[in-house]
Amino acid sequence: MADRGERVGFVGLGMMGGPMVRRLRAAGHDVAAADADDARFAAFAGDPGVTRPASLAELGAAADVIVTMLPNGKIVRDVVLGREGANDGLAAGMKPGAVVVDMSSSSPVGTRVLGPELAARGLGLVDAPVSGGVKRAVDGTLTIMVGGDTADVERVRPILAAMGRQVFHTGGLGTGHAMKALTNYLSAAGLLAAGEAFLMGKKFGLAPETMVDIWNVSTGRNNATEVKFKPFIIPRTWAAGFSLGLMVKDLKTALEVGEAAGEPAEFARACTGIWAAAEARLGPGVDHTEIVRYLEEIAAEDRD
């Protein structure tokens, strides 16, 4: 039984969403779930606490709080409001007072447009994107950044606490999504800088593992040096679990935040340009750690 008697819905059972639903189940929440990929329900076969309503509207009617964990804000909008003119989304079945919790990495600008549209129907919206990746989704230690009305945030906090160790209320609607975009910008910039330093050091004769060990006990330490180089970049497994295309999407969202704030964000633009070039060359589906492989390739071309 969910805290406060809230019935929970969840849309999006991908690499992050699936483990998050399992954390909700471990905390005692029954979940009405939806996903466009039928195969993703196999992981919940035999679990009577995970049900699958026949439509998004039926899921909306079955839940008081509905979590979305989807690739981008446009998809979230379509899922919540339905296809244009069709009225076949979650909102078609949701009762006044119900709340949507968008945990996707959506555009904060789009979130601030969607919020008033839902409010006009008597529905709430909270943006609550996460940081920590698949590993922390599995063990329930995600960091969650929450934007929205204080009453709505406190209402859904027990549900969020089942999925994350740290839940921060960042301010009004859209601030959670803005915080996530800026966080991923810092992550992307750190990986890019570390990748360039890594390649320079190797060519100068430094051992890869030695460089990483020194960075991790010095001022050069960042998330990439701590958790990405030894398992994914040095052995060239390229399997951190987050795509290059999604990183580029988040970087472009960070630029939207800069534009909305009136900031030129020159370094963010340069960083986004390099990542976008890597996506154009390698494809959006490769792991984001392959940005280092892209740097290797363009360096080799420069020497030719």
Paired tokens of 301: 């071309």
Distance of CA 23 to the CA centre of its chain: 17
Whether 42 has a pLDDT exceeding 80, the answer reads yes
Averaged pLDDT for residues 34-47: 94
Burial class (CB in 10 A: 0-12, 13-18, 19+), 48: exposed
Whether 304 has a pLDDT exceeding 80, the answer reads no
> Over pLDDT 90: what percentage of the chain?
92
Mark whether 180 is an active-site residue. Answer: yes
> pLDDT tens digits, residue range 108-150?
999 999 999 999 999 999 999 999 888 899 999 999 999 999 9
According to CATH, what is the number of the domain 179-303? 1.10.1040.10
User: Which residue carries 């069709």 as its tokens?
Assistant: 86
Whether 1 has a pLDDT exceeding 70, the answer reads no
- What's the mean pLDDT when you consider all of the chain? 95
CA distance 71 to 9: 17
Query: Which of 74, 95, 135, 180 is flagged as catalytic?
Result: 180
**pLDDT on residue 86:** 72
Averaged pLDDT for residues 43-62: 95
H or E element in which residue 4 lies: none
Please tell me the pTM assigned to this model. Answer: 0.90
Whether 3 has a pLDDT exceeding 80, the answer reads no
CA distance 5 to 26: 16
**pLDDT on residue 255:** 96
> pLDDT tens digits, residue range 75-104?
999 999 998 767 789 999 999 999 999 999
Which of the four pLDDT bands, split at 50, 70 and 90, describes residue 302? confident
The fold adopted by the segment(s) 3-172 is: Rossmann fold (3.40.50)
Do 31 and 12 meet the contact criterion of CB atoms below 8 Å apart? no
Domain ranges (residues) in the chain: 3-172, 179-303
Question: Which neighbouring-strand residues pair with 99?
Answer: 65, 124
Averaged pLDDT for residues 273-296: 98
**pLDDT on residue 2:** 40
Which of the four pLDDT bands, split at 50, 70 and 90, describes residue 4? very low
Return phi, psi of residue 117, to 5°.
-65, -40
C-alpha gyration radius of the chain: 20
CA distance 282 to 245: 10
